[in-house]
Amino acid sequence: PMSNQHSVLNPSAVIRLPLTALEKSPRNVRKSDVGDVSGLAASILANGLLHPLVVATHGKRYAVISGWRRTLALRHLVTTKALPKDYQVECRVVADADADADAEIELSAAENELRMAMHPADQYDAFRAMLDVGKTADDVAARFGITPAVVLQRLKLASVAPALIAKFRADEINLSQMMALAISDDHDAQMRVWTNAAKQGSWAMNPNELRAKLTQGEIRASSDIRVRYVGLEAYERAGGVVRRDLFSSDGDGCYIADVDLLDKLADAKLEKTAAKVRREGWAWVEVRQKVGYDDLHRFGRAEGVRRSLTADERAELSTLNAEDAELEREADKLWRGNFEEGSAEQERLNAIETRQQAINQRRQSIDDGRSVDLDSVKAHAGALISIGQNGAKIERGLIRPEDAKVLARTMAAAAGDDLDGGGEQDDGARGTKGKAETSEVLTRRLTAHRTQAARALLATNQTVALATLAHTLITQTFFAGSPLDSPLALSIRNESRFPTEDASIADGRAAQLLEARRQEIAAQLPRDEEDVYGWTFGQSVENLLNVIAYCLAMSLDLVQAKSTTTTERGCDIATTDTLTAALALNMADWWEPTAASYFGSVAKAAIVTAVTEVCGADTAQPLNKLRKGDAAIAAEQAVTGKRWVPALLRQR
């Protein structure tokens, strides 16, 4: 009990004071942020002020010792016009506390310390009582200043077994555990799971563990592709049971109880798609809910199927590749010299370019001629229908192993080959002349074993692996070779020529360094492409790595057509940023904005923004009065030497 000298509270001194006359006492012990008071305001509006404020007189104003949060809630109601501006509030007045600060602080501490939040179990008892007399969840929410969702959550706790609620009241079970147990309405299951968890230890009493035990055998709707494909509403219309977790933090707590029904619905929907695909004329159409890489790997592909090169085509391609490589070497020598426009050297370069274009067109024509009309193979191919990320996924043109031989004959017929013997065959699976020594199926089987054995050895032989990789990259970078010239199923694209009118790309410092590197490597390489593989085995690891680095660099493509999150080829910008960060790329070392390279191609507002960023507003603002061209030139002069680059060139 308070001592007599501190008994300044007069129990009968409850008066109504204007809300505008109240201020916070400097001795109020609640110093921290009171947070959102809208819920408290709603409760006061619905139920009235259940406890008067405690105030002390300070001249003509009154200082709130206890109840400042309630004061702010009342002000909130005035601001929202729920209460009038001249609203008067009940206050319990203590004596002038200027002479007795200790009493004021003690009163403030006592009221704030002794107030206790209602236990959740008491909350849902109160909510249930209100609902029993006809109130709605919205009514209850308004009365307590909370959302209807919170009301439903607290009521859901009432579905937990009474014995567990008793433990909750006794603080033997916490609120998070109760929310997990409430995922099920089966009291026996709740008790069984909790009892077993208590025996196993604290890890088993983790809310996630409890929830997992009670939903065992069910699937979470958000993480199952079948649910997205069928649709939760369609599943429920078919009589499917959905268990909803009202306490899910991400609002995503739906569990599918009838997995068999879900499978049936998914299969039925897939069959509708399959019926349409069957009308396309495929030999077979199969439905599977899931198709993985291993499933597809056992099939051949009729889509984009290409026949083997004929002997004449192989010979012609070899001749074309050799001529192209020789022309490339000749062009390189001419470019190193000095010549004038219209000179014989220039005319020869033009002729070389024209011939190389013709060579490329002929190579493309040969390659295009290897494609087999898809309609001609439908009688030997089929389709798999499965569930994809965005609906039904259709894999057309799949060849079963048993159909591969028949299809091979179809493709051979398209190429004019004679599979029945009578012509010389350049095929290791055949004898010198006449009929094949082994069937195609056996040939593929045996050479697959050979491939697997070679892979096992190559995986542990760094020298051969490095040499083989270097050979593959060199032939495609320096000799315009085909990926088919390498035993590796690996191809790269030479991206040295950019589809842009900016000549400075080809003349810049980076281009000069790359050209010097190319010449250095080219001088080491053998003249003939056929000798490259043998050459790689005679090189040091360091030299091979240098060559590989150059070849990979020439295939690098970071070009963006728009300021999007991917490159023009579709590579994610985050991936390219990882590469440029590892290279410590700073574009200020390689590029500088000029009127021609940047400022002349952006809006005047962007020019002013850039100059403001580098030089400040005093320098930038006068540019607004200039014509666009003059502003671009002025911007170039202002930022020269300042190492500024636009956001698109900065490391993100």
pLDDT in tens, 565-577: 777 767 777 777 7
Whole-Å CA distances, 34 to 31, 37, 66, 366, 490: 8, 7, 13, 79, 65
- The count of other CB atoms within 10 Å of the CB of residue 329 is 14
The rounded distance, in Å, linking the Cα atoms of 488 and 536 is: 15
Which among 135, 185, 142 has a CA at the least distance from the CA of 164?
A: 185
Please name the amino acid found at residue 179: M
Residue whose entry in the numeric block shows the structure tokens 């007599």: 4
Contact by Cβ (8 Å): 10, 50: no
Examine the pLDDT at 219 and tell me if it is beyond 70: yes
Phi and psi at residue 616, to the nearest 5°: 100, 165
Which strands, in side-by-side order, build the sheet including 242-244? 219-220, 254-256, 242-244
Where does the pLDDT of residue 366 fall: very low under 50, low under 70, confident under 90, or very high at 90 and above?
A: confident
Q: What is the pLDDT of residue 275?
A: 92
Alpha-carbon span 226 to 289, nearest angstrom? 8
For residue 81, is it left (φ>0), alpha (ψ between -120 and 50) or beta? left
**Segment 268-303, tens digit of pLDDT:** 999 999 999 898 888 899 998 887 766 776 777 765
Please say whether the beta carbons of 599 and 607 come within 8 A.
yes
3-class SS string, 357-424: HHHHHHHHHHHHCCECCHHHHHHHCEEEEEEECCEEEEEEEEECHHHHHHHHHHHHHHHCCCCCCCCC
Helix or strand (DSSP H, E) at 4: none
Q: How far apart are CA 369 and CA 388, in angstroms?
A: 33
> Residue for token digits 């680059």?
645
For residue 412, what are the contacts with CB-CB under 8 A and spacing of at least 6?
A: 307, 419
Q: Residue 255: which residues within 8 A CB-CB, separation 6 or more? A: 183, 215, 218, 219, 220, 221, 242, 243, 244, 245
- Contact predicate 537/467, CB 8 Å: yes
Q: What angle do CA 519, 524, 529 make, to 5 degrees?
A: 100
Kindly tell me if the per-residue pLDDT of 457 is higher than 70.
Answer: yes
- Any bridge partners for residue 384, and if so which? 286, 395
Q: pLDDT tens for residues 300-345?
A: 776 555 666 788 888 898 899 889 888 888 887 887 777 777 788 8
Given a cut of 60, is residue 41 above it in pLDDT? yes
At 395, is the secondary structure helix, strand, or coil?
strand
Beta-ladder partners of 287: 385
Which pLDDT does position 95 carry in this prediction? 66
For residue 401, give both structure tokens: 């192993």
Note the pLDDT of residue 504. 66
- What integer is the mean pLDDT of 557-586? 75
Give yes or no for residue 101 having a pLDDT over 60.
no
CA 202/CA 555 separation, integer angstroms:
55
CB atoms within 10 A of CB 8: 19
Average pLDDT, the chain: 76
Report the pLDDT averaged over residues 628-642. 90
Helix (H) or strand (E) holding 256: strand 254-256
pLDDT tens, residue by residue, 485-518: 677 777 776 655 554 545 567 677 787 888 888 8
Q: How many other CB atoms are found less than 10 A from the CB of residue 549?
A: 12
Mean per-residue pLDDT for 231-236? 86
Token representation of residue 24? 């916070």
Q: For residues 615 and 27, which has the higher predicted lDDT (pLDDT)?
A: 615
The residue type at 482: S
pLDDT at 270: 93
Cα–Cα distance for residue pair 85/557, rounded to 1 Å: 67
Cα-to-chain-centroid distance, residue 630: 44
Q: How confident is the model at residue 24 (pLDDT cuts 50, 70, 90)?
A: confident
Amino acid occupying residue 404 = A
Question: Where does 479-529 have alpha helices with state H?
Answer: 504-507, 509-522
Tell me the CA end-to-end span of the chain in Å, nearest whole number. Answer: 65
pLDDT at 74: 93
Q: In angstroms, rounded to a whole number, what is the distance separating the alpha carbons of residues 631 and 619?
A: 12
* 213, 197 Cβ separation under 8 angstroms: yes
What's the pLDDT score for residue 610? Answer: 92
Q: Which amino acid is at 319?
A: T
Euclidean distance between CA atoms 69 and 88, whole angstroms: 16
- Per-residue pLDDT band for 71 (boundaries 50, 70, 90) equals very high
Contact predicate 307/372, CB 8 Å? yes
With beta carbons less than 8 A apart as the criterion, state whether 20 and 83 touch. Answer: no
Report yes or no: 3 and 103 within 8 Å, Cβ to Cβ.
no
Confidence of residue 12 (pLDDT cuts 50, 70, 90): very low
Confidence grade of residue 88 (pLDDT, cut at 50, 70, 90) = very high
How far apart are alpha carbons 179 and 157 in whole angstroms? 7
Res. 178: pLDDT tops 50: yes
For the record, the structure tokens of 242 come out as: 């959905």
Cα 62 to Cα 67: distance, rounded to the nearest angstrom: 12
Quote the crossing angle between the two packed helices 137-144 and 38-47, to the nearest 10°: 110
Sheet strands (E) in 170-241 = 219-220
- Per DSSP, 371 falls in state B
Contacts of residue 238, defined as CB under 8 A and 6 or more positions apart, other chains included, come to 261, 265
Answer for the pair 473, 548: CB distance below 8 angstroms, yes or no.
yes
By the 10 Å C-beta count (0-12 exposed, 13-18 middle, 19+ buried), 170 is classed as exposed
Q: How many CB atoms neighbour CB 188 within 10 A?
A: 9
What single DSSP character describes residue 354? H
- Digit-coded pLDDT (tens) for 422-451: 333 344 444 433 444 556 666 666 676 777
Instruction: Read off the pLDDT of each residue in 377-389 and give the average, rounded to a whole number.
Output: 84
Q: Do 652 and 565 contact (CB within 8 A), yes or no?
A: no
Q: What share of the chain is helix, strand, coil (3-state, %, to 5)?
A: 55, 10, 35
- Note the pLDDT of residue 423: 38
Band (267; pLDDT cuts 50, 70, 90): very high
Q: Which residues partner with 436 through β-bridges?
A: 430
